[in-house]
Every structure is written in C-alpha cells, then in structure tokens.
Amino acid sequence: MSDFLGPHGKATVILMRAHFDSELPKLKDLKKLLHIPDGRYYKSGGRNYSSTQRLERLLNILSEIRGEERDWKRYSSSDYLITVAQVHSNLFMTLKYSAQVIDGFNLTDACMDELERLMGAYSSICSMRRDIDNMWSTLETNKERAINFGISDTTLLQPDIPNLQSILQGYGDAEYLKATNELKDWYETYRWKVGAPKSDSSSDESQDEAETV
C-alpha cells in the first residue's frame, strides 16, 4: 500500500504551485479557512511523485478531452497539501488563493487504484485509434517505397484508401466515449468541491487522522 494518503488510506490532497515556499498559503490561515485541525505540505517531486503525477496527468487528459491546446505545465504542481479526508473548499479559499491552488481531491487508496486503471484504458484506446490514423500515411509511404523498388503489386501501388477509410469509420469511437466519460465521472466524484465545512462532531476523528498524514 502506498503511503501517499497515510495509514488510513484516505485524505484530502490539494495541488499547489509556487516558485518559493513563502508564496504558499500559511497553514494557520488554511486551518481557519477550511476548518481543518492540521495539514502538511510536501514537495510534488518527492517520494510520492508518481501519485501527484497521476493527478496532474488526469487534469491534462481532461483538458485534452475538452479540445484545449496541450500545455503540460499548466497543471504541474510544485507542492501539495495533505490533510484530513473529505475537506471542502469555500468561496474565501477560492478567492484568496486562486493563483496558488491548481486543484484538489478527496481521495482514498481504492479510488487512486481506480484512476490508474481508467487512465490505462484511456491510453490504450487512444493508442489503438492513433494506429488507424497513422495507417493512411503508412500506406502512402509504402506506395512510394514500392515504386522506388520497382514493385508491380497493385495492392501496394494502389491501396484502396477511401474504401478502407469507409470500412474503419468510427473505429473505437464507442470505447473512446466510454473511457472519457469514466474519467470525467471519476473527477466529478473525487474533485475538491465547494461545500459546507465538517461539523464539530467529527473533530476528534479528524484530529486523529491529521496526526498521521
């Protein structure tokens, strides 16, 4: 089991970007704004790099799905805050630290494993579809090579590309839609939402969890 989320296997993780540590929100301010008993900053490039990178990759995939221009630095974090599970954001937090906060998540070990599986499925179907997209240029290249080698095989010299494109139209579309919808659903389920703070009745449990993250 990864130690990313602590021994309880659940925590709230907030990805942040700052050039200097002094630019990060002060923990005492976050405790007041978010009603959390405690929290801790870690460097995103530290020992849990693979876990933070997984979350950043998700954000980039969702951007790609939306058709936005690719910019991998857009969601690259320098640090992350980890605190007790099921912490909500609020308007004050959003307004005050919008420049530092990239995104946040309410996570469990199980949902992180699920995310890895979903992103693997998305990567696989995208690779399969790219193979077909690249097929047409491959056939054209093979045609030129065949001419240069004096080959007379008409299947190489005159591949029926329009007919092949017609046959393969929609190749993988249904599975691609399924993979993208599952990633969107995961994000909507586990993303850091604006909501009411946790009640005081859970403070004892929260304190226990905070000491372990």
Confidence of residue 60 (pLDDT cuts 50, 70, 90): very high
Write down the pTM of the prediction: 0.85
Percent of the chain at pLDDT > 90 equals 83
pLDDT at 196: 55
- 73-118 tens-digit pLDDT: 899 999 999 999 999 999 889 899 999 999 999 999 999 999 999 9
pLDDT at 194: 84
CB 11 within 8 A of CB 209: yes
Average pLDDT over residues 27-47: 95
> Is 50 exceeded by the pLDDT of residue 207?
no
> Is 70 exceeded by the pLDDT of residue 208?
no
Domain ranges of the chain: 10-108+191-210, 118-177
> Is 60 exceeded by the pLDDT of residue 178?
yes
Beta-carbon contacts of residue 151 (< 8 Å; ≥ 6 apart): 157
- 137-174 tens-digit pLDDT: 999 999 999 999 999 999 999 999 999 999 999 999 99
